[in-house]
């Protein structure tokens, strides 16, 4: 709730429901997830986040506002997780099919950390997925002491691709739109996401990434409305050891 660029963004309404509720609604469609846990802070400003999680029937863990690494680890432990699929709360268009495909690739093995937004963009920002074991996160929590690595959870891993097996999944051609920005950091981002929901949700509440891309391809002026801001995060870059593979979307 204490976002500097767009305060309270997680509760801003999209078609009458908070943005975070829309994200949870989409994640509930994932076949690969046993539980959803909202990891928020103990700051009093985040009390409404806990109330929302309870209303949505999902778990909520509250931890440090600054040490997001420790907060994420504690959240995973609170639901007895063995595997973490980390989704940021400002990406309300995350596609359940992409999430399930990422988990399926992780479970095939030969990977410690799997992501789809490392080194170079292929997916639009906002379809981001990270998958890793709780045991790995526990190791990282004991080793990482850089403030940036603790505030952003996984940089310790992907910066050490010589130590960990790091795999980045590239978008299939129909989703390869690195210029589209679908996360919510600024008011213009929120307006674009709201426009996408308004166009697609009434026809199909389970609209997919392909539907989002098709809509933006058909409306280039709308897609360009929020590209003027610099990215509000440090783009994740490995130090040369990551493997890059094409994501296979099951049945699509």
Domain ranges for the chain = 9-246
Q: How does pLDDT run along the chain (252 residues), one tens digit per residue?
A: 988 889 999 999 999 999 999 999 999 999 999 999 999 999 999 999 999 999 999 999 999 999 999 999 999 999 999 999 999 999 999 999 999 999 999 999 999 999 999 998 999 999 999 999 999 999 999 999 999 999 999 999 999 999 999 999 999 999 999 999 999 999 999 999 999 999 999 999 999 999 999 999 999 999 999 987 766 566 789 988 899 999 998 744
C-alpha 239/C-alpha 225 separation (Å) is 33
Q: CB of 175 within 8 A of CB of 102?
A: no
- Give bridge partners of residue 60 from the DSSP assignment: 38
Model confidence over 179-193: pLDDT tens digits?
A: 999 999 999 999 999
Q: CB of 52 within 8 A of CB of 123?
A: no
For residue 113, count other CB atoms closer than 10 A to its CB.
26
Q: For residue 179, give the DSSP letter.
A: T
Q: CB of 56 within 8 A of CB of 24?
A: yes
SS3 100: helix
* Residue in the block written with tokens 């050891």: 241
Task: Note the CATH number of domain 9-246.
Answer: 3.90.550.10
């Amino acid at each position: 709730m204490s976002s500097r660029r767009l305060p309270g963004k997680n509760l801003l309404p999209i078609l009458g429901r908070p943005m975070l509720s829309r994200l949870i609604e989409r994640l509930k469609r994932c076949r690969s997830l046993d539980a959803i846990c909202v990891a928020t802070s103990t700051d009093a400003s985040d009390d409404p986040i806990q109330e929302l999680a309870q209303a949505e029937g999902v778990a909520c863990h509250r931890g440090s506002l600054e040490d997001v690494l420790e907060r994420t680890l504690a959240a995973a432990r609170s639901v007895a997780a063995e595997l973490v699929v980390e989704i940021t709360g400002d990406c309300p268009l995350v596609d359940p099919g992409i999430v399930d495909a990422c988990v399926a690739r992780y479970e095939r093995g030969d990977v410690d950390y799997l992501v789809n937004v490392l080194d170079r963009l292929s997916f639009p920002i906002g379809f981001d997925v990270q998958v890793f074991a709780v045991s790995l996160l526990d190791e990282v929590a004991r080793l990482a002491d850089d403030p940036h690595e603790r505030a952003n959870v996984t940089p310790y891993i992907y910066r050490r691709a010589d130590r960990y097996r790091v795999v980045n999944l590239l978008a299939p051609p129909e989703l390869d739109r690195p210029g589209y920005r679908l996360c919510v950091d600024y008011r213009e981002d929120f307006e674009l996401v709201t426009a996408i929901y308004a166009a697609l949700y009434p026809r199909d509440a389970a609209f997919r990434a392909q539907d989002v891309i098709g809509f933006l391809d058909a409306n280039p002026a709308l897609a360009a409305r929020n590209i003027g801001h610099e990215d509000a995060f440090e783009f994740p870059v490995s130090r040369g050891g990551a493997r890059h593979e094409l994501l296979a979307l099951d049945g699509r």
